[in-house]
Structure 1
Amino acid sequence: MAKRNGSSTLSENVTKKLRHDILAGQYEPGSPLTVSELAKSFDVSVAVVREALTRLATQGLVLQNPNHGFSVKTASEEELKSIIEARLINESAALRLSIAHGDLTWESNVIALHHKLSQTAEYEEVDQKLAIREEWSDIHRQFHYQLIAACPNALLLDICRRLWDLSEFYRHWSFQQQPTRDGRAEHKALTDAVLSRDSDRAVDIFRTHIQLTADNLLDNL
């Protein structure tokens, strides 16, 4: 049993690392993920890597082909549009439910994460190119998760998180130059609407926020 628990923990760790690297753009869309090479890189068994890749395949970030092994998911304009449409539907519903059920602790967490996000630089220069900072990306995810955290529908939250991961994949691969939009103002307006419990306004701001992101990604895809 101890051996099984150890193997399971290793697989979880490899899954998290690969998931992070894929979302951070370390692997190009469609690039092969060779099990033996990854096992050597992570210093784990082939079985551990295969389990991790299978998990990522169920999350939609990795493709599994019986004849060609594993590869990073491909990118397409059609899929991106579907992801954005699904986010608009599901996150809007989750946001309404979160506003309706959120307590003072939830409000405090929203305020804290918004402050942290507003004080964190979004971009950095890497190899003479502008890139999204990993720290900002992580806080940005936490902020959007917190907005809907009080939603009592666990299945809906799982759907929203999976869609977030898929949209992050596109965010890193579609990004080319710093957008002219004022993201900080958008996040503040969204926070203010949420804290005032104005669900209609909050959803309107959220939908505009997501659509602006979608338009930027589609322009640069």
Structure 2
Amino acid sequence: MTYGAANLNDDGTGSKSTLASTVYQRLREDLLSGALETESKLRVEWVVSKYGAGASPVREALNRLASEGLLGRHDQRGFFIMPVSAAELEELTRTRCWLEERALRESIAHRTAEWEEQLVLALHRLGRASRLSQQDPSSIDPDWEKLHRTFHRVLISACRSHWLVGFCDQLSDHAYRYRQMANGGESVPRDGSAEHRLIAEYALDGNADGAVQALIDHYQLTASICMERFKQGEVSKVAASAARARR
């Protein structure tokens, strides 16, 4: 599929900024969903061919993604997809808990009636949605994911710091990348709806300590599930390599 075709001007040329934004969004979605193999090199020519844009807007998109930590960059050797690791997942979860604790405490301290209504609505919509896709029960439904993101964003939206919310959003993106890679069935029993409901109830009651602990428990359980799936994947790779070596 060639993206950006609709952005061509009458003279057949495309808006560089529009094309760069289109490539950025499409490539970002593929990176976060795990559709592209980690540690692979991303040659400009390959991205140009896959996403249907010129080299200049592609480089702009790649540089933007590198600044967000989704791509790495070798001097004179181009870009590569950032690898995943158990150590990074642990650090990511720890940092996310630190920042969102502060954001949630501030949000509860400065809560308003409008914020409470938005939180109740976000929780209600999330609770009514199906987490797994009807077309592919082994994958997360994109609509559920949007509602899930909205719920967590509303929780901290009253913290009065767009910088803090922005940092939390960036960490949330990276955590989503790990969740997508680890998807394939949860071996640890959990009730996600109950977890979200508990966080919201504490927040609405003004119980910052309870809300923070429930949120941290929620994130740490998710991380432990991802960690287990991640390690299982590593074991499978080692076994496959050993099998190939015996042939």
Among 36, 40, 55, the alignment partner of 1:27 is 36
Deviations 1:136-181 (A, max 9, x none): 1122111111110111122222211111111111111122313520
Deviating beyond 6 angstroms after TM superposition, the runs of 4 or more aligned structure 1 residues are: none
Which structure shows the bigger proportion of residues in strand conformation? Answer: 1
Partner residue, 1:71:
80
Q: Which has the larger radius of gyration?
A: 2
Supply the distance in 2 between the matched residues of 1:140 and 1:72 (Cα, whole angstroms).
Answer: 26
> Distance in 2 between the 1:189 and 1:73 partners?
35
Alignment correspondent of 1:59: 68
1-side partners of 2:57 and 2:72: how far apart? 17
1:107 has 2:116 as partner: yes
Using the TM superposition, give the Cα deviation of residue 43 of structure 1 relative to its aligned residue in structure 2, in angstroms.
2.2
Number of residue pairs matched by the alignment: 217
- Paired residues for 1:127-142 under 5 Å: 130-142=138-150
**Structure 2 contact 138–183 (Cα < 8 Å) conserved:** no
Q: TM-score, normalised by structure 1?
A: 0.91
- Structure 1 position 177 matched with structure 2 position 215: no
Q: 1:68: how far off?
A: 3.0
CA contact 1:94–1:157 (8 Å) conserved in 2: yes
How far apart in 1 are the matches of 2:205 and 2:177?
Answer: 32
Aligned to 1:154: 162
Tell me how far apart the structure 2 counterparts of residues 145 and 31 of structure 1 sit (CA, whole Å).
32
Equivalent of residue 94 in structure 1, options 103, 106, 110: 103
Q: Which amino acid in structure 2 is aligned with residue 22 of structure 1?
A: L
Cα distance change, pair 126–33 in 1 and its aligned pair in 2 (3 A): farther
Q: What is the CA deviation profile of residues 73-131 of structure 1, one whole-angstrom value per residue up to 9, with x for unaligned ones?
A: 1001111100011011100100000111122222121111111111111113667x611
C-alpha separation in 1, matches of 2:140 and 2:36 = 16
Select the structure with the greater relative contact order (CA < 8 A; seq sep ≥ 6).
1
